[in-house]
Amino acid sequence: MSLRASRKAQLLLLGLLLVLLVGGFAATSLVSYSTSRDSIRQNIVNTELPLTSDNIYSEIQKDLIRPILISSMMSRDTFLRDWVLAGEQDDEPMTRYLREVQEHYGAYTSFFISEKTHTYYQAKGVLKQVSEKEPRDIWYFRVRDMQPLYEINVDLDMANRDTMTIFINYKVFDYQGNFIGVTGVGLTVDAVVKLIDDYQQRYGRSVYFVDKNDKIVLTGVTGGPLGARAGQTLSAVPGLESLVHKLPKPQSGSYEYQEHGRGHFLNVRYIPELEWYLFVDKHEESALADIRHILYFNLLVCLLVSVIVLAVVYLATQRYQQHIAALATTDVLTGLSNRRGFNLLAQQAVLEAQRERSPLSALLIDLDHFKQLNDTHGHLAGDEVLRGFAKHLQSNLRQSDIICRWGGEEFILLLKDTGSSTARQLAEKIREQTENSRFPFAGVNLQVTTSIGLTELHDDDSLDRLIARADHALYRAKQSGRNRVCEETYELRP
Ligand SMILES: Nc1nc2c(ncn2[C@@H]2O[C@H](COP(=O)(O)OP(=O)(O)OP(=O)(O)O)[C@@H](O)[C@H]2O)c(=O)[nH]1
């Protein structure tokens, strides 16, 4: 495989790994994110919000049941009825009675309105006369004409700086069953508002009450959704279009809606005592922020792991490629360059020498009668001699020289900055050393001689021509008896 092709294969492998790692990690993270998100959503819709509704509802009931009992007791009180039937002579006993009730039961206000005189009595004395023409007094005439014995009404208390108050309005009858007035107590919604605020702050939910006509009647101190205030209708609050679209009229149930692109979960519960709907609302954003952060963290870790894996694979393949490239240019038996490796370096050396006009010599070395050595001592013995001879050669060369196993028992040397006379000296040295060397193998000291063809690079020479001349010189060395060095100086005829 060429270097280019192997580079392409490497990039392909890295690309594939990148896709697999990033794709795999991202898919796992997203699936786990989506599973967690679904389970969180389920939890919010099925457990969290209904639980908040339950808690607020039971708190409201706690606040309401006691005053209903007190108001009921007041409506049956014989003092109150006797005092009315006796003609409401003196305000003082009635005022004292109402003050007693208020202080003893911890009510915010207590009151009695007489049907006969339309006088509004409360703990501090006579407040006013109720009139059908006064919008604030309409409630009295409504209670007078209604069927049920009492109603719960949330209104502003005029006697107490218009504080938002829950009134229990109980009808009072004389002993013959004639309607004689309305009595009861009022309590502020402070406790409920506090509870709402507590839930809003602690759990990041919006809690508010809406009446049957879509009007927001009670919110925490900071207001309702998107800062809506009591008195506004839901449809008048900008941003709640999607909610109003899904829930045109209040109705119990669980809903999901969008507000300026943000998801909301909503639980609506009817409070029969108040005839209100309790809305408990939670942002998807706040609920899912944690797992979204976990998702980002996971994706970051995935990215890091992918980068590390890719870097490791890149380095490993790079080293492997280098190893393969080295193997492709190295002779396995001797560890010298093979022809391919030689060609890469030799071309360069020839060009350099010609450019710098420096001498360069080539030696083509062949072991004599090597076939005979193989035949006599075996192929392994031949291998051992080749290895030993290669070592000898290397020990005689400089770092800059190029050495190669040309094939079989043939070697080639390119000696940089070396003219033919120096090259001849080196060739002689190699020849002599080889002749005098012993290559031990299986208890036998093997001997071998070399024939060497020598030539020097000419101007305008090519690597092929240089080698051809060296080969010719070697041929002559073989022909003239072996174990000798021959030089070829003349250009060969083609
Ligand atoms: N052991 C061993 N033998 C090899 C290797 N490569 C080539 N040969 C042998 O080297 C021998 C070369 O034989 P020839 O080309 O006839 O040359 P020679 O016997 O050396 O004779 P001259 O070169 O004429 O002196 C052959 O028998 C090849 O099989 C090798 O890697 N290991």
The tens digit of pLDDT for each residue in 304-363 reads: 998 999 999 899 988 988 888 888 889 999 999 999 889 989 999 999 999 999 999 999
Q: What percent of the chain has pLDDT over 70?
A: 96
Span from the CA of 429 to the centroid of ligand 1 (angstroms): 23
Q: What is the pLDDT of residue 466?
A: 95
Give yes or no for residue 382 CB within 6 A of ligand 1. yes
Q: What is the pLDDT of residue 339?
A: 92
Give yes or no for residue 26 CB within 6 A of ligand 1. no
Span from the CA of 319 to the centroid of ligand 1 (angstroms): 35
Q: Which residue has the higher pLDDT, 66 or 382?
A: 382
Q: What is the pLDDT of residue 226?
A: 79
Q: What is the pLDDT of residue 251?
A: 87
> Which residue has its alpha carbon closest to ligand 1 atom 3?
382
Give yes or no for residue 448 CB within 6 A of ligand 1. no
Q: Average pLDDT, stretch 221-242?
A: 83
Q: What is d(CA 3, CA 10) in angstroms, rounded to the nearest whole number? A: 10
Q: Average pLDDT, stretch 215-227?
A: 82
Q: What is the pLDDT of residue 193?
A: 79
Q: What is the pLDDT of residue 238?
A: 84
What are the start and end residues of each CATH 3.30.70.270 domain in the chain? 339-487
Span from the CA of 331 to the centroid of ligand 1 (angstroms): 16
Q: How many CB atoms lie within 10 A of CB 459?
A: 6
Q: Which residue has the higher pLDDT, 377 or 211?
A: 377
Query: CATH code for 339-487?
Result: 3.30.70.270
Q: Which atom of ligand 1 is nearest to the CA of 482?
A: 25
Give yes or no for residue 408 CB within 6 A of ligand 1. yes
Give yes or no for residue 374 CB within 6 A of ligand 1. yes
Res 75 pLDDT > 70:
yes
Task: Give the sheet arrangement for strand 360-367, strand by strand.
Answer: 402-407, 410-416, 360-367, 450-456, 485-487
Q: What is the pLDDT of residue 436?
A: 95
CATH number among 3.30.70.100, 3.40.50.10310, 3.30.450.20, 3.40.50.2000, domain 26-298? 3.30.450.20
Q: Which atom of ligand 1 is nearest to the CA of 379?
A: 1
> Do 117 and 131 meet the contact criterion of CB atoms below 8 Å apart?
no
What are the start and end residues of each CATH 3.30.450.20 domain in the chain? 26-298
> Which residue has its alpha carbon closest to ligand 1 atom 31?
408
Give yes or no for residue 422 CB within 6 A of ligand 1. no
Conformational region of residue 218, where left means phi above 0, alpha means psi within -120 to 50, and beta covers everything else: beta
> Which residue has its alpha carbon closest to ligand 1 atom 18?
369
Res 57 pLDDT > 90:
no
Global confidence as pTM: 0.52
Span from the CA of 426 to the centroid of ligand 1 (angstroms): 24
| pLDDT-derived band at 295, boundaries 50, 70, 90 | confident
Span from the CA of 373 to the centroid of ligand 1 (angstroms): 8
Taking only the tens place, the pLDDT of each residue in 435-474 is: 999 999 999 999 999 999 999 999 889 999 999 999 999 9
Q: What is d(CA 8, CA 14) in angstroms, rounded to the nearest whole number? A: 10
Q: What's the complex ipTM?
A: 0.96
Give yes or no for residue 303 CB within 6 A of ligand 1. no
Q: What is d(CA 415, CA 410) in angstroms, rounded to the nearest whole number? A: 17
> Which residue has its alpha carbon closest to ligand 1 atom 12?
371
Q: Average pLDDT, stretch 176-205?
A: 83
Taking only the tens place, the pLDDT of each residue in 78-133 is: 999 999 999 999 999 999 999 999 999 888 899 999 999 999 999 999 989 999 99
Token readout for 97 is 């009675």
Res 156 pLDDT > 80:
no
Report the residue among 334, 367, 371, 387 best suited for mutation to probe ligand 1: largest number of ligand atoms under 8 A from its CB.
371
Q: What is the mean pLDDT of the chain?
A: 89
Give yes or no for residue 13 CB within 6 A of ligand 1. no
Q: What percent of the chain has pLDDT over 90?
A: 49
Res 242 pLDDT > 80:
yes
User: Do β-strands 150-157 and 125-129 pair in parallel, antiparallel, or remain unpaired?
Assistant: unpaired
Q: What is the pLDDT of residue 59?
A: 75
Q: Average pLDDT, stretch 249-278?
A: 85
Q: What is the pLDDT of residue 255?
A: 87
Q: What is the pLDDT of residue 157?
A: 62
Any bridge partners for residue 256, and if so which?
265
What does the H/E/C string look like for the chain?
Answer: CCHHHHHHHHHHHHHHHHHHHHHHHHHHHHHHHHHHHHHHHHHHHHHHHHHHHHHHHHHHHHHHHHHHHHHHHHHCCHHHHHHHHCCCCCHHHHHHHHHHHHHHHCCCEEEEEECCCCEEEECCEEEEECCCCCHHHHHHHHHHHCCCCEEEEEEEEHHHCCEEEEEEEEEEECCCCCEEEEEEEEEECHHHHHHHHHHHHHHCEEEEEEECCCEEEEEECCECHHHCCCCCEHHHCCCCHHHHHHCCCCCCEEEEEEECCEEEEEEEEEECCCCEEEEEEEEHHHHHHHHHHHHHHHHHHHHHHHHHHHHHHHHHHHHHHHHHHHHHCECCCCCCECHHHHHHHHHHHHHHHHHHCCCEEEEEEEECCHHHHHHHHCHHHHHHHHHHHHHHHHHCCCCCCEEEEEECCEEEEEEECCCHHHHHHHHHHHHHHHHHCCEEECCEEECCCEEEEEEECCCCCCHHHHHHHHHHHHHHHHHCCCCCEEECCCCCCC
Taking only the tens place, the pLDDT of each residue in 11-56 is: 888 889 889 988 888 888 889 888 888 888 888 888 888 888 888 7
Span from the CA of 349 to the centroid of ligand 1 (angstroms): 29
